[in-house]
Amino acid sequence: MPRGARQFSTSGYMHLIIRGNGKQILFEDWEDHHFFLSILEKYCMETEVKILAYCLMDNHVHLLVHDQDNNSSRMMQKIGVSYSGYYNRKYEKTGHLFQDRFKSEAIEDEAYLLTVFRYILNNPKKAGICSAAAYEWNSFPLYDTRDSFVDTSKLRELIGDRKSYLAFMDVEDEDEECMEYDRADHSDEWAKHIIQKYLNIESGTAIQEYNRNKRNAALKILREKGMSVRQIERFTGINRGIIQRI
C-alpha cells in the first residue's frame, strides 16, 4: 500500500519522531548523543527549521520544530544519512538504522503546542528514568539560554520566565496525549460507527450545537469508547483543549 502524503502544519509547528529500526538502540555512549546533537544543529541551520525542543531517548528521538517552508523532510533526511553513516562506521554495522520514515504531527494551536513541548521534555519521566530536569539529553536546561541553537522564544512568550517554566513543567496531566511511534488511532470508518451507534447522530460536528452539559457528556462517551483526543477533535471540530479538560 502506498504511503499517504505527509501533512504539514499551517502554523509551521510540528512534532517529529524518529526511531531505530526494530526499536534498536541509537545511542550507545556520550559521543553518540553529542554527534547527533551536532548534526541536528548543523542541519536545522542549513534548512532554516527552528528547533523548539528535543529529547534523545535510547531508541527514538522527539523534536518540536517550527518549519514555515516545509523543509523538515529535507532536514530529517540529512540527519538520517549523516547519523546512519557515523553509527555504522563506528559500530561496524550495515543496513538501515532508522525505522521507515520519520513520523510527524501538525500542531495548529498554542494550547497543543504547550502540551507537546511538556510531553517531549517529560519523556524520561514517563519512561521511569528520571525527571525532565535531571535528564542529560533533552533541551530542558536551554529554556532561557540565548546562545543555543534551540529557539524557545515562542514558548517563553507563552509561558513566561524560568519560575513560570518550572511551575509549568511540574504540572502532571494524565490526560495529555501526543503522537507516539506505535500509537495508531482506530480507522475513520470505526470512528464514524462509534459516533452513530452511541450518540445517534450522523456527524460528530453536530455536537457543536449541544448545550455545554450535553456536549461534555457526548465527548466523554466517545473517549470511553476508545476514540483518541486527536480523533475526537478531528471528527467533532471541537478544540483539543476542551476535550482534554473534560
d(CA 168, CA 42): 30
8-state DSSP, 207: G
d(CA 188, CA 174): 25
Mean pLDDT across 197-212? 90
Listed residue (50, 61, 65, 64) closest to 83, CA to CA? 61
Where does the pLDDT of residue 72 fall: very low under 50, low under 70, confident under 90, or very high at 90 and above?
Answer: very high
Q: Cβ neighbours of residue 198 under 8 Å, at least 6 residues apart?
A: 221, 222, 225
The answer to whether residues 54 and 138 touch, using CB atoms and an 8 Å cutoff, is yes
Residue 189 pLDDT greater than 80, yes or no: no
d(CA 147, CA 65): 18
d(CA 194, CA 201): 10
Phi, psi of 35 (to 5 degrees): -65, -45
Sheet holding 103-107, edge to edge: 50-56, 60-66, 13-19, 103-107
Where does the pLDDT of residue 178 fall: very low under 50, low under 70, confident under 90, or very high at 90 and above?
Answer: low
Where does the pLDDT of residue 1 fall: very low under 50, low under 70, confident under 90, or very high at 90 and above?
Answer: very low
d(CA 68, CA 48): 9
Other CB atoms within 10 Å distance of the CB of residue 94: 6
Range 195-200, long-range pairs (CB < 8 A, 24+ positions): 195/222, 195/235, 198/222, 198/225
What pLDDT was estimated at residue 2? 42
Mean pLDDT across 20-41? 94
Please identify which residue in the block is written with the cell numbers 525505522.
99
Q: How far is CA 168 from the centre of its chain?
A: 18
Residue 73 pLDDT greater than 90, yes or no: yes
Reported as a single tens digit per residue, the pLDDT across 118-145 is: 999 999 998 889 999 999 999 999 999 8
Residues of the chain with pLDDT > 70, as a percent, come to 90
Helices (H) and strands (E) in the chain, counts: 10, 4
Q: Is the model's pTM score more than 0.85?
A: no
Residue 3 pLDDT greater than 60, yes or no: no
d(CA 58, CA 237): 36
Query: To the nearest whole number, what is the mean pLDDT of the chain?
Result: 87
Reported as a single tens digit per residue, the pLDDT across 86-103 is: 999 999 988 889 977 788
d(CA 211, CA 81): 53
Reported as a single tens digit per residue, the pLDDT across 213-233 is: 999 999 999 888 878 777 888
Rg (CA), the chain: 19
Mean pLDDT across 169-198? 70
Q: How far is CA 218 from the centre of its chain?
A: 27
